[in-house]
Structure 1
């Protein structure tokens, strides 16, 4: 359906404006609303600027392979071969208050959907009972000063509105899609929680390794400064050499509090993710205990639309907006309501319960909107604009998903390259340290030369630690970016079936 040109707004509109618009819609054969199909999105041959390689470089003896076309791994955190990590993720998924709140909100939305379907598509039946004592003005002409009487009545009333033009069905379909949206958002929240727990655990392990190495560097620097202090007292070194050594030791020591603060903050955050208080944060895990997955699935771009909960949520929002356009259009069409009542009534209890007190009523009403101050047309235009916004949001969500995957693939490739270089540097520096230490034992070099070579080794090791942590974290992020295989999510989306329960 082509979008109509913007309508000019008048201070006073003709009474038959809505009816005229209705005739135009009928004459043009226009559908009540868009079909809700996702818009055409790019289908790139690969995610990034250049095609991703089949595997990364071999860093620390491990080359990760990109399995293009493979299905995502539902419980991807198990690929790190860490039972302790698996236990933390399962604990968080079971105990997170945020996830529990989202789950209850989803269940509430499903119950509201059931209630709306039942009230809109099934007849309503109500039992009504009244007992009144009334006084009415008298009739002086007839010599009656006042009228006082009792009124007893009891009846069952049935009402049913025919959904001829589908307004109720479309409203139900819109709400069902909104429930689907919440279901996909809940699944996205579950996956984000698992990813945040893994990222926190890996980040803490990386910081813990950095802290240990930095502490060793501080100890070496302090020992070097103490040695120079003694040599300065003997006049073997200058005062400048001593000050430089002391400044170097102090600068290294200044790095420790920042690392320790980062680790403490991440431990507190991890405890909250697990549903614990910060004082109950779990113990740190060793960075060396994590196995780097060698096979990483890479879903093809066309299939990513079916595996990412955020894209599915955007699709559900688009379907809901489409149904809301149809519902806003159907409001301009006639509606028919039937009602019937059966009961007993009278001015005294014996009469109300006798045969002469039988009451019944049956009726039908037809309502055709004619003039609502332009509200119905404005509501439909607003619904169309909301649909267009949902359409654009869907396209943006798809593009953002492609970018997310492209960034993760590039990060893994570059992490491997950086770790390979840093690992080679650390391995070479360790070789120098081992050689210098051996020469010291033979008396060929002084001990401060051993300290200097160890400093070089530890500094090179810090870079290797950071890049190893980044490689593990970016691997987890890529697993997360791939989504979940269709039908493998823990939360099924609500059915869009709008038939009565």
Structure 2
């Protein structure tokens, strides 16, 4: 008797064991690399001093949420806030997040709870009568109303894995929205700096064009007086024409930069704001540099890639659980009658109860192929996660290296501009005293304007690369909009 009882309980024990097994690969990706420092060289404590600022790299500091405020420009702050409110791409990301959140709620409702439906039916039917008994045909009405209940027992976790997959997709979209916000803020700052730099470069080049035309006129006058060769006159004219030819392209770039800024703010190009002077933007003196081991918990793109691994793991669980039996219960209770007056009487009560157990046997290899496809997708998602991690480290390494070199470039450009400016001032003083010819002052100012162009470009590069480093640092923990929906879903199990 004991042997028979143990034999009968064996299938139940096997089902319970299979239900407790993990049908999906690990949802957490393998531990990523943790480099000692980001770049090939160790991170310096500070950059070289340029324009009176030696940026300090605070290793181990937390990322700054509203880092653009460190540029100390109320106008720039207003532009970033305007873009975060009105940019259509960011608004689309918000609605996409709302859509996947509602899909998660729908998945929870369909997978974890029973379904209850109410139905009613009115029909008029014609049926054949029995031979030789009464009328050959019968025409009658049928009135029915009932409640239907259905529930699928999640024996092997297919429904739970589906909920986890939907929750992971919510997480991924949440992190993508956070990444879009930070990218938009960085793009607005970079576009503003580029518009300012191009406006100042255009002004300097227009002055250079005016000086080149003046120099060409002076050379032509000297040629007519026999004090210059014809070749000198032609060279001066060629130089003036070359500078003039570069102006239309520079004007177009300056306008395109303003148009790009307007679109980032959610405006039409005709409402593009006037560019700020570069001097109105203060270079942040301190830049937080998160240690590599903590960077991956702050970068929304890395967190989104990790959430994608969670979703891919859950897809494998769903595909695996679909290979095992499914148990469903259904029941209905209602009333039916041939006359409306008798519809809800005791005699018209109808009910049904049913249980069904389905074990897939042959589907042409479709279920196994779906599982193999889910596993391959999981492996691809793991590789994409690893690549995202490496890209994150590279972003920080590149921007740190660029900032250090930007400071050296600006330092040299400032020294050259200061020397050229002093030379221009000395030449102007000598000209006013009659000790230098006027063409010398024109040539001296040309050298100064060219040195200023180099300084403008170096200043803008330092401001832009600082914004890129802030973006590369990601969001401080707890600042992002994402929440761990998969943990909440696991708690509902």
- Please give the range of the TM-score, normalised by the shorter of the 2 chains: over 0.9
Alpha-carbon deviations, 1:331-387, whole Å to 9, x = none? 122221111111111122233232211111122111222222222211111111111
How many pairs does the alignment contain? 478
Determine if the alignment matches structure 1 residue 301 to structure 2 residue 292: yes
2:149 alignment partner in structure 1: 158
1:203 alignment partner in structure 2: 194
Matches within 5 A, 1:95-494: 95-142=86-133, 144-489=135-480, 491-493=481-483
Range with bigger deviation, 351-360 or 462-471: 351-360
RMSD of aligned C-alpha atoms?
Answer: 1.9
Alpha-carbon deviations, 1:388-421, whole Å to 9, x = none? 1111110000001111111111111111111111
CA contact (8 A) 2:129 2:136 kept: yes
Shift of 1:239: 1.6
2:4 alignment partner in structure 1: none
CA contact (8 A) 2:18 2:156 kept: no
CA contact (8 A) 1:426 1:460 kept: yes
1:6 alignment partner in structure 2: none
Shift of 1:233: 2.4
From the superposition, tell whether residues 331 and 362 of structure 1 become closer, same or farther in structure 2 (CA, over 3 Å). Answer: same
Shift of 1:430: 1.1
Determine if the alignment matches structure 1 residue 53 to structure 2 residue 44: yes
Shift of 1:25: 13
CA contact (8 A) 2:143 2:336 kept: yes
CA contact (8 A) 1:117 1:500 kept: no
Alpha-carbon deviations, 1:58-80, whole Å to 9, x = none? 11221111111111111111111
Determine if the alignment matches structure 1 residue 495 to structure 2 residue 485: yes
> Within 2, Cα distance between the matches of 1:26 and 1:379?
24
Shift of 1:231: 2.3
Alpha-carbon deviations, 1:161-204, whole Å to 9, x = none? 11122110110000110111111111111111111111110001
From the superposition, tell whether residues 27 and 339 of structure 1 become closer, same or farther in structure 2 (CA, over 3 Å). Answer: closer
Matches within 5 A, 1:14-53: 31-53=22-44
Q: Residue 181 of structure 1 aligns to a residue in which SS?
A: helix
Q: Residue 37 of structure 1 aligns to a residue in which SS?
A: coil
CA contact (8 A) 1:60 1:423 kept: yes
Range with bigger deviation, 327-336 or 458-467: 327-336
Q: Residue 297 of structure 1 aligns to a residue in which SS?
A: strand
Shift of 1:492: 2.9
Shift of 1:441: 1.6
Range with bigger deviation, 136-145 or 148-157: 136-145
Unaligned stretches of 5+ residues in structure 2: 1-13
Shift of 1:109: 1.1
Q: Residue 222 of structure 1 aligns to a residue in which SS?
A: helix
CA contact (8 A) 2:19 2:155 kept: no
